[in-house]
Amino acid sequence: MEQRIAEHRKALAQREDAAALALAQEFATIADTVEAELAKLTAAISTASDAATPTWLYRQALYKKLMLGARAAYLEYGRQAARTIEGGYAAALDYGLRDAGELLTLAGLDPKPLGKRAKDGLLVGMRRRLRKLALPTSLVQLATKAISGGLIKAVKARAADSPIEPAGLVKKIREGLGSILVNVMRAQRTESTTAYRSVVGAQLAATAQVVGWQWAAELDKRPAPCAVCVAMHGQVFAADAPFGAHPGCRCLAIPVIEGVGPAIPARRRCVAG
Ligand SMILES: [Zn+2]
């Protein structure tokens, strides 16, 4: 059972990687455009030297153009990411249902697959989660913070004996913009895994002989899962108990069948604790 779970997890990660690659490429394209504008502005800041104050910065046409362009680009990027994530929900639910059925069959049961209505209900719930994430606006906020925040901080910190070095400033802002990609990647992975886990959980809860589920962390992963997940590994929950995972968590559920001991032996729990 544990081995099947590891295979399911691997397939889940591969499906996520394909979508993540497209999002990472688009991110790089936007970053190039933004950085080209940013390079012009940082050169102007460097030339203006002592005259470059935050007020001066806000008045620059280059600054306005940069900020407008970046807001539009990251807003659209957020919409694209949300569409990608939403598109992935249905697939994650299908795979989750298939994998849960496989685990139950492996346990010797003859599970009755969840109906379309139950699946549609899960899909509605996932879409609600996605709206709450508000990716487009949150990405614009991150972009504004990285670009405008970085520029203003640099202008304020500028001293006569240490002028602004354009390449260094662009590099710093580029690092700040990296948080956008980190957020998108994390959201994409979390949403895909959550959709998958939600349907697995629903299928387990709907199967009479399932008395609970066992938390299965990816123990052999490097870097290792967080300490909380390692400690959770092997713990048994009621069949209808929700999976209280954190963002980016890759842990999955193993069914615990009536009259059969949990798949993950107790000794692991002793090691973890
Ligand atoms: Zn975890």
Span 188-214, pLDDT tens digits: 999 999 999 999 999 999 999 999 999
For the chain, the helix, strand and coil percentages under 3-state DSSP, each to the nearest 5: 70, 5, 20
Are residues 88 and 191 in contact, defined by beta-carbon separation less than 8 angstroms? yes
Beta carbons within 8 Å of 88's beta carbon, 6+ residues apart: 15, 16, 19, 188, 191, 192, 195
- Residue 267 is predicted with a pLDDT of 54
Residue 36 Cα to ligand 1 midpoint, Å, equals 39
Q: In sequence order, what DSSP letters do the residues of 5-36 get, joined into one string? A: HHHHHHHHHHHHHHHHHHHHHHHHHHHHHHHH
The radius of gyration computed from the CA coordinates of the chain, to the nearest angstrom, equals 24
Q: Compute the distance between CA of residue 139 and CA of residue 142 in angstroms, rounded to an integer.
A: 5
- Rounded alpha-carbon distances, angstroms, from residue 83 to 7, 8, 89: 27, 24, 10
Residue 246 Cα to ligand 1 midpoint, Å, equals 7
Q: What is the mean pLDDT of each run of 10 residues along the chain (273 residues)?
A: 90 90 95 95 91 93 97 98 95 96 94 94 97 97 97 87 86 96 95 96 96 93 89 94 90 94 70 43
Residue 257 Cα to ligand 1 midpoint, Å, equals 22
Residue 226 Cα to ligand 1 midpoint, Å, equals 7
Residue 130 Cα to ligand 1 midpoint, Å, equals 20
Are residues 180 and 74 in contact, defined by beta-carbon separation less than 8 angstroms? yes
Residue 211 Cα to ligand 1 midpoint, Å, equals 22
Give the residue from 226, 243, 134, 245 showing the smallest Cα distance to 184.
Answer: 134
- Residue 273 is predicted with a pLDDT of 39
- Residue 160 is predicted with a pLDDT of 66
Note the pTM of the prediction, 2 decimals: 0.89
Beta bridge partners of 215: 253
Residue 156 Cα to ligand 1 midpoint, Å, equals 42
Give me the half-sphere count of Cα atoms (radius 13 Å) on the Cβ side of residue 236: 14
Query: How far apart are the two ends of the chain, measured CA to CA in Å?
Result: 23
